[in-house]
Structure formats: structure tokens, C-alpha cells
Amino acid sequence: MSSTNERVCCPECQEFVSDDTRIQLTPDRFKFTSDANGLQHSLRRMFKRREMPNSNSLTDYEKSILESIRNWEPKKGKRALLCAVTYNKQKYKLKRTNYDVISMRDLLVKRFQFPSNSIRILAEMDPYPHPTKRNIQVALKWLVKDNQPGDSLVFYFSGHGLRQPDFFDDEIDGFDETICPLDFRTAGMIVDNEINDTIVRPLKDGVKLHAIIDACHSGTILDLPHIYSTKDAFWLIGWKVWWDNSPPSGVYKGTSGGHAISISACEDNQLAADTSVFSESGKQMEGAMTYTFRKALMENTRVTYASLLASMHKDILAAKKKCFSLRGLFHRERLQEPLLSSSKVFDVNEPFVL
């Protein structure tokens, strides 16, 4: 076996990847970077091989679904868009996203008193519209349409995430982050710049948006200008430690007076895990980020942003240790770190309220 630092060239796309991406860890239940790196590379390879579709290629049924989403009534007060992509019948199908989205809907209704008719779902299960690129794009516009002071908006996404080169000098690390709709291999991905333009920029004064993103490479998926560093906070107890994530180009990435907050599964250069280690049966797959997020909020009556991040980190670390003790397969892998970003600096000891 070659060393972990050796790289091999993919014969299909001529892209160099680490040698251990060839290792497949199925049927392991808690998967981090070894097989996930291979997944990310293969997804990029598939995307490279496909051309963008004709803009008029929608079927009559797809057009009717899209029109129904355009006609969604924007609810005042609390409003949420929840997206779950399983990529059914595709090579890299996810087994947990439908479960994740239903559990998130229940959390919003039971813990934060969201009216059921103010929550819209895109998922690959009846009776919901599918999370295609066009459907997600239109639904995101619905989420922020006619937003007014006092509104609390939520965007949740559970699916694959990728990165691609940034050509506009908007990213400090040189990469745009993306989410992958159901049809991303033909229609393309949704890039962080578009997400920022669609649901961050329109936020008016007195409106708050929370994005909860359970996907790989999702750290700065909203392109928000401030990142909260939990690592620095560990050493500087009591300090509010924020990193400047403003684009080198100087382009404005903030709101129109409102407040946008994102909680992501991991940093931009990390991968998010699916696991069954948390379930009682040991068989129910769910996103590690989604599970630990819900657990922290359901078990505690008063949760702050800081305590939420700490609880999520603790539970993910415990799950990784549990799997290590069972199989010892994760010695090379990096733990995913939930990331908090914001359109403005704020006190993370404030209560977490949606």
C-alpha cells in the first residue's frame, strides 16, 4: 500500500487525488474523509463530463411544479424552506436526508412554534416537489419575498456539497462553495455567490435569517463576512473571536439591514459525515450535524449560540471515538467542525432562538 501522501492520477479526468481515495469504507457506519474524498472526486468528474441543459428542456409536469412554487404565499412572521436531496438512483445516493428533513420540520414546529403551513419542503418523496436546481432557486426567492421587520426565516439543506475555483476574487481561500441539487450533474450546482445574492442581500432591517446546512464544504456557503472561531474561543475564554471573511475583491456580501446567520456542518475544507451511530437500532442513517444540532436544542431549555456549537462538537467527537474503539479505522481522518458565520458580529452568548 502506498503512503498517504502519495498521489495518483485519475485516468478519466487527469486530476491528481490522494492514493487513499481508492479505499472504500462501506459498510462502515460513520464515514469521514477516506471514502468521502473519493466521493467528492467522482462527483467533480461526473460534473465535468456533462453539458448544461437547454433552458427550455422542462417537461409540462416540471413546469407546473415550478409554477406552483412560484405561487407559494409568503407567510408573515416565521417561515422556513427545508431541502433534502437523496440523489435517488444515482451512484452516490444518500440514505438519511429524508429522515433529516422531517426531523428538522418537527423541531421547528415543536421547539420554535413554526406554523406547519409556514414550512415548505423540497424532497424526493411524496407529496413534495423535487429539489431540482430550478425548484430550489425559486423556493429561495419565496423564502425572502416581501420580508418584513420581525420575520424569522430558516433555510435548511441536507445533501452533497462541493467546491469549485473562484474566478472573481471573492474568496480568501480561492474556492467557491456549492450545494448540489438533485439534477446538479446536468443543470449545475448552486454557488455561494448566488445564495448570498438571493437570501442574504434582500434581508431588511429587523429580519433574521438562519441557514442550517448539513453538507460537505459548507462552512461559508452563504458568503457571510464574519466567521466565529471556536478554536480561538477555547484558548481565549470569554473573548468574542471573529474572523474577517470579507471578499478580497471588496464586493458587498451583507444584508439590506437584516441579520443573516449560518450554522454549517463543517469548515470549507472539511467533509460532513452520515452516521447510524446515534440511532437506538444502529441502522437509521442521519447527518451527524443535523442530529447533534437537534439534540442540543431538544435537551436544553436555554441554548446560546456558543453552547450550541460546543454541544455539537462534543457529540461529534464522542461518536468518532466510539467508532474508533469499535473499528479503529479513523486514525487518518479529520474531525468535522461545525462553523458559525454571520453578516455582523454579535454576542454568541445570546440565546439561540428561531
- Give residue 32's identity as a one-letter amino acid code: F
Long-range contacts of 3-9 (CB under 8 A, 24+ apart): 4/332
Given the residues 160, 210, 217, 226, select the one marked as catalytic.
160
Distances (CA, A) of 144 to 195, 239, 259, 316, 350: 12, 33, 12, 32, 24
180 is catalytic: no
Coil vs helix vs strand at 159: coil
- With CA atoms as reference, report the closest residue to 155 among 95, 206, 198: 198
Supply φ then ψ for residue 144, to 5 degrees.
-105, 0
Joined together, the cell numbers standing for residue 261 give: 446567520
Chain center to CA of 5: 29
Given the residues 180, 216, 266, 323, select the one marked as catalytic.
216
216 is catalytic: yes
Joined together, the cell numbers standing for residue 233 give: 474561543
- Give residue 195's identity as a one-letter amino acid code: I
Long-range contacts of 293-299 (CB under 8 A, 24+ apart): 293/212, 293/263, 293/338, 294/103, 294/104, 294/107, 297/107, 297/111, 297/352, 298/107, 298/111
Q: Determine the Cα angle at 96 with ends 95 and 97, to 5°.
A: 110
Active site residue ranges? 160, 216
